Structure 1
Amino acid sequence: MKYVLHRKSNCKKIKIRVVEGVVCVSAPFTVSKKIIDDFVQEQEAWIKNQLDKNTQSKENDLICLLGNEYRLHYINQKMCYVDGHDVYMYSDKVLIQKFLKQNAKKYIDLRFEFFCEQLHIHDISLQYGFYKSKWGSCTPSKHKICFNVNLIFMPLEFIDAIILHELAHLYHLNHSKDFYDLLCTWMPNYKEIMKENKKLPIPKLY
């Protein structure tokens, strides 16, 4: 596997990053090229996963939106819409994000309301954003929960798991045993769902 090597005097161990589709390796001067090559080879699966995340989605790619699979098409009209089993998008970041947010919000709002009714939870406001390192967050003191719009690309059971995860934080702020005991009472297969789906790649549409 090709990579760009940076030797650093203040580097104590080999580190790998994927930056805009380029594999960058940092290593101490004392480490041999063979050891670096072997380390990169050991991390090949992780590297390929990171590269997949940075690959621009192409015409006719299959993407999942709210549990349904669609064929992707880029169009010249300034709009984004679904027609049958096809999704049509104008290649503009603002327009695509607006389309994704509207559709994610519509579904997640309904599921959130359903779970709140079941659990007798009231007066929680929702916000949506595009986040790189979290699916959601909860601020109990402000009665506010935020969700990542990119949940739209995930299986429906995963979305339910994230909703319940954030609701559980209303009772337990950290990820303690009590937190997971409560969460698994609400959703017994929570851990299996997270393990199976949390590493699914997010399509890069813009």
Structure 2
Amino acid sequence: MQPHASPNYLAGYPAELTDQIKRMIGQKQLADWLLRKYPYTHSIRSDKALYDYVMTIKSSYLRNAGNINRVAFDKSLHITRNALGIHTSKSQLHGGKLKAKCEIHVATMFKDMPAEFLRMIVVHELAHMKESDHNKAFYKLCCNMEPDYHQLEFDLRAYLTWLDAGGEALWSHRQPPSQVA
């Protein structure tokens, strides 16, 4: 069995941007740049807190979208599915009635990331409630919920490239002073 090739997190971006990120990684500058831009992680640590967070965003932007039955951090997501978040919907027949279930799973690695990155992945998965494909309407909805969506996605992809190149996790112990026990 052949080892999996590393994903190219920066595929589709202009060469000058990807070269700049690769250069910053090579010169060991990317970590400092990301830490200056996003100095701290968030305080959401439990599935219940994540559910409440997701529901707050949903109620602000997608009131008429269906119900969300479960939201959870998922430790196997990034490894098994090569995904950072996943939105699932399924319908089941119960006693002649059709019941729909919707779940959002977010990779556990987002527990130790900046709030901006968590919001970006949550917005992405919420947008899938309205738009199943990554099309123009999907990204328009993402940008409506998070105006900096595209920059956050790029910065997250730069961070994932950093990790893939052997860099260490950056935010595992960087909580704001008010969150430190």
Q: TM-score, normalised by structure 1?
A: 0.47
Which consecutive residues of structure 2, in runs of 5 or more, have no partner in the other structure? 7-21, 32-38, 91-100, 173-181
The structure that is helix-richer by fraction is 2
Partner of 1:66: 42
Structure with bigger strand share is: 1
Deviation at 1:156, TM superposition (A): 0.3
Q: In the TM superposition, what is the alpha-carbon distance from 1:158 to its structure 2 partner? A: 1.1
If asked which structure has higher relative contact order (CA below 8 Å, sep 6+), I would say: 2
Secondary structure in 2 matching 1:140: strand
Match of 1:166 in 2: 125
Q: Please state if 1:137 is matched with 2:86.
A: yes
Q: Which runs of 5+ in 1 are unaligned?
A: 1-15, 19-42, 53-62, 68-101
Matched, 1:157 2:116: yes
Are residue 190 (structure 1) and residue 149 (structure 2) matched?
yes
SS of equivalent residue, structure 2 residue 45: helix
**1:126 and 2:71 aligned:** yes
Matching of residues 30-41 of structure 1 within 5 Å: none
Which runs of structure 1 show a deviation greater than 3 angstroms over 4 or more consecutive aligned residues? 43-49, 201-205
Question: What's the CA shift for 1:188?
Answer: 1.8
1:190 maps to a residue whose letter is Y
Computing the radius of gyration over CA atoms, which structure comes out larger, 1 or 2?
Answer: 1
Superposition TM-score, scaled by structure 2 size:
0.53
Q: Of the candidates 133, 153, 169, which is equivalent to residue 203 of structure 1?
A: 169
- Aligned pairs for 1:20-99 within 5 A: 65-66=41-42
SS at match of 1:66: coil
**Structure 1 residues 45, 104: closer, same or farther in 2, change over 3 A?**
farther
Q: In structure 2, how many angstroms separate the alpha carbons of the residues matched to 1:48 and 1:110?
A: 40
The alignment covers a number of residue pairs equal to: 120
